[in-house]
């Protein structure tokens, strides 16, 4: 990874990880129009671990909640980050591969079609446990 790619990855990582805080800030994007997001047009964020995120959207919906959606490709054996918790709730929808979901110390594995719900302030983590990369969407709802 060259210097430009590293800066882009760090910047995008900050966007993905701080979306709720950014959405709360003055001037946050307002999601007031219906729209189709073409997968091929989404910005790609590579990480040194081989993880790749595609940011779909982030902002505030009409009822005031922060909403952030991104798709992650996670190589075998990798985790996007250690166990953590946050105020907002999340859904993780598995598209392909096998993910292990650590829900406050209780681990469950799911493949394509599996959905993990992360309640507010519950410690959690995910890890790709299959032989191939896992793809999943994260939908974060609420403010941090």
Q: What is the CATH number of the domain that holds 8?
A: 2.60.120.10
Summarize the confidence of residues 66-80 as an average pLDDT: 96
Q: What is the pLDDT of residues 21-68, one digit of tens each?
A: 444 445 679 999 999 999 999 999 999 999 999 999 999 999 999 999
Sequence-ordered list of residues with C-beta below 8 angstroms from that of 79, at least 6 positions apart, any chain: 125, 126, 127, 128
- Nearest Cα neighbor of 136 from 79, 66, 67 is 79
Provide the residue range defining the domain that includes 106. 3-141
Number of domains the chain is built from: 1
In this prediction the pTM is 0.79
Q: Which residue bears the tokens 């999340």?
A: 90
């Amino acid at each position: 990874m060259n210097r430009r790619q590293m800066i882009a990855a760090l910047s995008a990582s900050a966007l993905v990880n701080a979306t709720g805080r950014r959405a709360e800030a003055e001037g946050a994007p307002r999601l007031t129009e219906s729209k189709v997001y073409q997968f091929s047009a989404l910005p790609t964020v590579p990480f040194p671990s081989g993880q790749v995120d595609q940011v779909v959207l982030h902002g505030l919906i009409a009822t005031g909640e922060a909403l952030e959606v991104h798709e992650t490709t996670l190589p075998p054996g990798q985790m996007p980050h250690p166990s953590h918790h946050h105020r907002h709730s999340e859904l993780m929808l598995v598209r392909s591969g096998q993910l292990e979901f650590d829900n406050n110390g209780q681990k469950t594995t799911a493949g394509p079609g599996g959905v993990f719900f992360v309640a507010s302030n519950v410690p959690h983590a995910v890890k790709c446990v299959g032989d191939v990369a896992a793809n999943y969407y994260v939908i974060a709802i609420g403010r941090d």
